[in-house]
Amino acid sequence: MLTPVTDTDGAPFWEYAAQGELRVQACADCGELRFPPRPCCPHCQSFAAEWRLTSGRGRVWSYVVPHPPLLPDYAAQAPYNVVMVELEETPRIRLVGNLVSRAGASLDSLDPERVRIGARVRVVFPEGGLPQWVLA
Amino acid sequence: MTVAGLKDATAIVGIGQTAFAKRLPEDEKTLACRAVLAALDDAGIAPGEVDGLASYTMEETDEVELAKAVGFGDLTFFSKVPYGGGGSCATVAHLAGAIASGQASVGVAWRSRKRGSGPRPWTNTTVQLPTPAQWTRPFGLLRPADEIAMLARRYMHEYGATRDHLFNVALACRNRANQNPAAVMYERPLTREMYMTSRWISEPLCLFDNCLETDGALACVLVSKERARDCAKKPVYVHSVAQGLPAQHHGMVNYWNDDPLTGPAWTAARQLWKHADFTADDVDVAQIYDAFTALVPLSLEGYGFCGRGEGGAFTEQGALEIGGRLPLNTSGGGLSEAYVHGFNLINEGVKQLRGTSTAQVPGAATCLVTAGEGVPTSALLLRS
Ligand SMILES: [Zn+2]
């Protein structure tokens, strides 16, 4: 499986995720949330940032079901879902992820028939892995 | 010179292309040379007169390699445009600006690609994985088809667009390719049943929603309108040009805008129409970037052919066919002629306005050509 190749701006997201926290970058001056992370605030141009804990709840904004040809690790689990989740507190903050049956389950663990736009979901964190989503 | 001063100041006077196929024996550099020489021959201009070049940043043949191989003169302008298929029309736009402002007198734009026989770009995870792909690739959103399918699903959900609407796009392109002996899909018809029963690539996109994988190269030659009058072929004037990168856009996964369904087409369109003497209603034929069928309804809305959310319904009742409201991708486009990062759409626009297309729209005098939607894009209005 592919693991994130992080940059200076993105590294904190993955470090918090490894600790079981879904945090989003926010401007320390004007308070606006922003994603993906970046060096300064597009609203007030401040370089002061903080990482705000989210509720970990959201809704499915859209989703796809990829079929091969895919990279081998992914082809082995295809067809699987990839969802885009908009966060409950700030819908324009959207995160790409996978809707699974339980934390740590494979990408194809949830019947694709159960994935719906608008479905309520919550984040889960498999041991040391990427954040995943389950139906709330 | 103002942007408005670009209006009809330059013209495309030569076009060239190689064969298109899943696999061609020659390398990209050789194909580039052949396409460029064919375009210059079409224009009746000697290679030694070329002093301006433009291509895509993804183009593998460097200016220096091309220049020394085909025998260009001293080059005084060269430019490359990023974001893959979003750059196609901007290569012509950059040359138009350079020629109109006196930085060059004979400009060549080109694209050469071996996508049919070469590896898929998305399989190179070393190149693909760093920012911004850290937010998408690890979750199995691996390919451009997956990235665009995400927008397509939301678009279909929000506006009631259907797979039949996407099929209308695929069919119009295929029908035109069936008329074009140079097209990969010449003499290979598509039916609704074939479409509806084809394999999925990334649901909701199936095999026929995806462009071809093609080897091939194309080029065109630009000069000032004054010089164009003395060229061998009927000039096709560059009426208006635009690039577009919307606020808060993010590569090909523009999921983080306030409104991801109003993509770069909307930004490019505002700039394009600002300086044009005519409107979308006056466009006789359109070459709209079609790496994926779903990009077409989004572009129809962005460029003003219909209202927000109406792009799917616009494709109904043969609107995109010859004789329809807006004949589309009359060479077969990326879906059915060749996928060479959209450059074939530029050359086909020129053929329509010369009156030499294999699917000629009678009396066509205006043509919109667009570059990749979903990525930072560009567009041209051409007129005869
Ligand atoms: Zn701020």
User: ipTM of this predicted complex?
Assistant: 0.97
Confidence of residue B131 (pLDDT cuts 50, 70, 90): low
**Which chain B positions have a beta carbon within 8 Å of A7's beta carbon?**
130-131, 134
What is the chain A residue with the closest CA to B153? A62
Q: What is the pLDDT of residues A52-70, one digit of tens each?
A: 999 999 999 999 999 999 9
Q: What is the pLDDT of residues B227-254, one digit of tens each?
A: 999 999 999 999 999 999 999 998 888 8
Confidence of residue B188 (pLDDT cuts 50, 70, 90): very high
Q: Nearest CA of chain A to the CA of B209: how many Å?
A: 14
B289 belongs to the catalytic site? yes
Q: What is the pLDDT of residues A7-56, one digit of tens each?
A: 899 999 999 999 999 999 999 999 999 999 999 999 999 999 999 999 99
In angstroms, the CA B284 to CA B360 distance is 11
The structure's pTM equals 0.96
Query: Which chain B residues in 53-82 lie under 8 Å from chain A, judged by CB atoms?
Result: none
% of chain B with per-residue pLDDT over 90 = 91
**Which chain A positions have a beta carbon within 8 Å of B159's beta carbon?**
none
Q: Between these two residues, B125 and B376, which has the higher pLDDT value?
A: B376
- Select which of B56, B159, B289, B303 is catalytic: B289
**Which chain B positions have a beta carbon within 8 Å of A105's beta carbon?**
none
Q: Is residue B1's pLDDT more than 60? A: no
Structural domains of chain A, ranges and CATH numbers in brackets: 11-135 (2.40.50.840)
Q: What is the pLDDT of residues B85-99, one digit of tens each?
A: 999 999 999 999 999
Nearest to residue B234, comparing CAs of B339, B111, B383?
B383
Predicted local distance difference test score (pLDDT) of residue B251: 82
Predicted local distance difference test score (pLDDT) of residue B121: 75
Q: How far is the CA of A42 from the centre of ligand 1 (A)?
A: 7
Predicted local distance difference test score (pLDDT) of residue B5: 85
- Select which of B155, B159, B195, B339 is catalytic: B339
**Which chain A positions have a beta carbon within 8 Å of B129's beta carbon?**
2, 4-5
Q: Is residue B122's pLDDT more than 80? A: no
CB B214 within 8 A of CB B20: yes
- Interchain pair A96, B253: CB under 8 A: yes
Nearest to residue B290, comparing CAs of B372, B199, B190, B367?
B372
In angstroms, the CA B91 to CA A44 distance is 34
Token output for B342: 């959209």
B159 belongs to the catalytic site? no
Q: Is residue B290's pLDDT more than 70? A: yes
Confidence of residue B128 (pLDDT cuts 50, 70, 90): low
- Residue B115 contacts A, CB cutoff 8 Å: no
Confidence of residue B258 (pLDDT cuts 50, 70, 90): confident
Q: What is the pLDDT of residues A116-131, one digit of tens each?
A: 999 999 999 998 789 9
Report residue B72 CA to chain centroid gap: 26
Confidence of residue B4 (pLDDT cuts 50, 70, 90): low
Confidence of residue B33 (pLDDT cuts 50, 70, 90): very high
Token output for B327: 């004949």
Q: What is the pLDDT of residues B316-342, one digit of tens each?
A: 999 999 999 999 999 999 999 999 999
Token output for B160: 């009631």
- Interchain pair A64, B146: CB under 8 A: yes
Q: Is residue B17's pLDDT more than 60? A: yes
Return the residue in B129, B139, B209 with the most chain A beta carbons within 10 A, the one to mutate for interface testing. B139
Predicted local distance difference test score (pLDDT) of residue B116: 87
What is the helix (H) or strand (E) element at residue B6, kind and residue range? none
